[in-house]
Amino acid sequence: MLKGFGGRQLRINLSTGEIRTSPLDPTFARKWLGGRGFVAKILYDEVPRNADPFGPENRLVVTPGVFSGNFGPSGSKCSFGAVSPLSNGEGDSTVGGHFGPELKFAGYDLIVFQGISPKPVYLFIDDDRVELRDASAYWGQGTMETEAALKRDLGEDFEIAAVGPAAENRVVFACIGHDYGRQAGRCGVGAVMGGKRLKAIAVRGTRSTPLHDLPTLKELTLRIIKRTAQHPNMAPWQKYGTAMFVGWSNEHGVYPTHNFQTTYFDRYAGIDGGPLVERILVTNKACFGCWMNCGKYSKVQIEGKDTVYVEGPEYETGSLCGGNCGFDQIEQVAYVNWLCDTVGIDTMTGGNIIAFAMECYEKGLITRKQLEGHELRWGNLEDVEHFIRMVVERRGIGEYFARGYQAAAAYIGGGAERYTCQVKGQGMSGYDGRGAPAMLLAYMTADIGAHHNRAWTITMDEDLGKDVIRGKAKVVVHLQHIRPLFDTISSCRLFWGEIDVTDQEHIDAIKLMTGWDDFTLEEAMRLSERIWNLNRAHFLERNGGPGRKFDYPNARFYEEAVPSGPAKGARLTLADLDVMLDEYYAARGWGLDGNPSREVLEDLGLEDVATNLERAGLLGQLSAPLPPVRGEKYKPKAF
Amino acid sequence: MMTVYLKGGGLLREYLQPDVDEYTRRVEVAEGRTLRQILEAIGIRPVHVAMAFVGNRLVNLAYVPSDGETITLRPPVQGG
């Protein structure tokens, strides 16, 4: 019997309405672990390379991993994955809250949707009872409104994941909402869900997940809880959450301001963690099984607007929908946060897209007429609200922004692509890489596009030198293995990154959950590297090669110096980026063209993938012997 | 001279090299030194400190600690 898992999977064809339940293969579970691992493997094996991300052949994969719902150090996460309409490659995004655990309690580790429903539906799961139900009554509603309506109609003990109007209208950066303000935000997974006319998933589970050694797991987890309760990071983390880094990020010259035109926002004091706590915070909010409870539930009152409640703003929203759009009051940022959550767009790519449009307006590339008589000024809430609605409803110029950066820049013309702060169609996270070169490299090479959750390097950049280009790539590779591992096992990375729950303690917990006594950290890291290479191969097979040509940001990041603030003068050149990419590919065992080599793929047990790449003419050639271990843990310089 | 206790976790712990308990380092400093000067004196670059607290009170790097005081240092976010 497979322990630590729910033990079952659901296959749902939305075109035909067919629902199949089958046991989860234990060998598959061990090899790919769940979460992002299941997503990567299923998408690679099942989605035809020429399939449209919005077509019936794309899959929407929903998967809580091994930690989810179990009594380990955090177990709240659930991954949503699909071929992304942003990158046209593998896309995955996780959400915390309670949805993943509830799915496990119903006995499911995996749901794979294919097809497109002829009418709006939602998936109803009540343990063994699984039905596709008519969602016409909920279609058109916002994510939180849908969640409330489904809870009202089905019962408060159902957990809901739902999309909003943006996803229904296939806005490519649409997200999936859950728990009144948490999101699987990135990669446009919501757009794929909405495109399939799947409005929501409602689940209630009453089973227990079988565990190998519950008493020892309990002992381990309680020991960790006791220890971390005393951790120095715990109190500030609980008090301010991620919002406290708005100030830090500004003071260190990495804060995106006015669409990354500069890296210091001189009015940041009104949108930092302090004003959040003092002016809008109602209460803290925790995910399943979490004792950090860093989520912030806020009440937003702005004259002339309805009073609204929002979870956040988190740092990423506080930067990308904050100074990056010119907002200097926490209430404004929280209101934009709420608006994005309600219509169901990712505040990160969404914040980037708004700022991109603002800069185009500032430079005269977008006219007032194209904005239906409105303007799009930095820090103007009315302008932003109107623009968001144009995009979500695909009205006028909003149609092109709804299709993503490439379509918008092509429509606008006048060199607008320079202002698209993205890699592979994914808007950049809230750190400017000109003052942190390794961070820029992390964006450039991330499998899903410019997302910080794959690698966050700014402390290292500060430590080794903001202008140092060489010697950082190996650390980026290591981080790209360790950090996404938490999305694979479905635990919260913050326990590891912020309160020192060790990687080995996570492995020990997996052993106690599953009974895999020979499971090691090395195996987990190799799995993470296997996923990384599989996703790269998948991307190349869909988009062609060489991979290197997709690994550059927009020209701003290698042609423009930072004009103001603590990083004033910081500048990278295209040659700098090439030096970093050369080092990075070598550290990964890839060719200098950015394509994986047969040697590294075979070392990771991906012989079939090497053959596929070879047939497609996309196999990289090693320029040096394959490094026995790819990536290197950063050792602080100070001592 | 006076004694100040600096407390930090995460990556900051590696720089801090605690000697009192798992997270705390005891530092002997001249009176009147700012937190920034104290950090620099023990080889910690201020960039590795995102925030500093005395009890629940947020202080900045210009803060001048008193004898026997404990300052909790918060490293920059790594989880994101």
Q: Are A379 and A326 a contacting pair, CB within 8 Å?
A: yes
Same domain, A61 and A181: yes
Q: Which pLDDT score, from 0 to 100, does residue A639 have?
A: 45
Q: Are A341 and A144 a contacting pair, CB within 8 Å?
A: yes
CA of A463 to nearest chain B CA: how many angstroms apart?
8
Q: Which residues of chain A have pLDDT under 70?
A: 637-639
- Inter-chain contact A494–B58, Cβ cutoff 8 Å? no
Same domain, A321 and A457: no
Q: Which pLDDT score, from 0 to 100, does residue A212 have?
A: 98
Backbone angles phi, psi at A60, to 5 degrees: -115, 115
Q: Which pLDDT score, from 0 to 100, does residue B79 have?
A: 55
Encode pLDDT of A101-116 as tens digits: 999 999 999 999 999 9
Same domain, A261 and A287: yes
Q: How many domains does chain A have?
A: 3
Q: Are A195 and A172 a contacting pair, CB within 8 Å?
A: no
Same domain, A340 and A192: no
Mutation for B interface: A233, A237, A294, A458, most B CBs within 10 A: A233
How many Å apart are CA A42 and CA A429, to the nearest integer?
27
Q: Are A162 and A146 a contacting pair, CB within 8 Å?
A: yes
Higher pLDDT, B79 or A471: A471
Encode pLDDT of A610-634 as tens digits: 999 999 999 999 989 999 999 999 8
- Provide the residue ranges of all domains of chain B, joining segments of one domain with +: 2-74
Which neighbouring-strand residues pair with A184? A176
CA of B37 to nearest chain A CA: how many angstroms apart?
16
CA of B71 to nearest chain A CA: how many angstroms apart?
10
Residue A179 lies inside a defined structural domain of this protein: yes
**What is the domain range of residue A99?**
8-204
In 3D space, the residue among A368, A273, A361 whose CA is nearest the CA of residue A312 turns out to be: A273
CATH number at residue A469: 1.10.599.10
Residue A621 lies inside a defined structural domain of this protein: no
How many Å apart are CA A183 and CA A345, to the nearest integer?
9
Same domain, A244 and A188: no
Residue A274 lies inside a defined structural domain of this protein: yes
Same domain, A354 and A394: yes
According to the CATH classification, is domain B2-74 in 3.10.20.30? yes
Higher pLDDT, B50 or A331: A331
Q: Which pLDDT score, from 0 to 100, does residue B18 have?
A: 92
| CA nearest to A315 within chain B | B80
Q: Which stretches of A34-74 are DSSP H helices?
A: 35-46
Same domain, A189 and A258: no
**Is A497 part of the contact surface with chain B (CB cutoff 8 Å)?**
yes
Same domain, A138 and A191: yes
Residue A134 lies inside a defined structural domain of this protein: yes
Residue A217 lies inside a defined structural domain of this protein: no
CATH number at residue A54: 3.60.9.10
- Inter-chain contact B75–A231, Cβ cutoff 8 Å? no
CATH number at residue A275: 1.10.569.10
Instruction: Flag whether pLDDT at B30 surpasses 60.
Output: yes
Of all residues in chain A, what percent carry a pLDDT higher than 70? 100
Same domain, A462 and A554: yes
Same domain, A345 and A455: no
Same domain, A443 and A415: no
**Is A239 part of the contact surface with chain B (CB cutoff 8 Å)?**
yes
Please state whether beta strands A308-311 and A295-300 pair in parallel, antiparallel, or not at all (unpaired).
Answer: antiparallel
Residue A122 lies inside a defined structural domain of this protein: yes
Same domain, A435 and A412: no
In 3D space, the residue among A104, A34, A27, A91 whose CA is nearest the CA of residue A59 turns out to be: A91
Buried b or exposed e, range A24-40, using 16+ CB within 10 angstroms: beeebbeebbbbbbbbb
In 3D space, the residue among B57, B79, B75 whose CA is nearest the CA of residue A487 turns out to be: B79
Q: Which pLDDT score, from 0 to 100, does residue B80 have?
A: 54
Residue A29 lies inside a defined structural domain of this protein: yes
Encode pLDDT of A243-273 as tens digits: 888 988 998 899 999 999 999 999 999 999 8
Concatenated DSSP letters for A402-448?
A: HT-HHHHHHHH-TTGGGG--EETTEEP-S--GGG-HHHHHHHHH-TT
ipTM field: 0.86
Instruction: Flag whether pLDDT at B77 surpasses 90.
Output: no
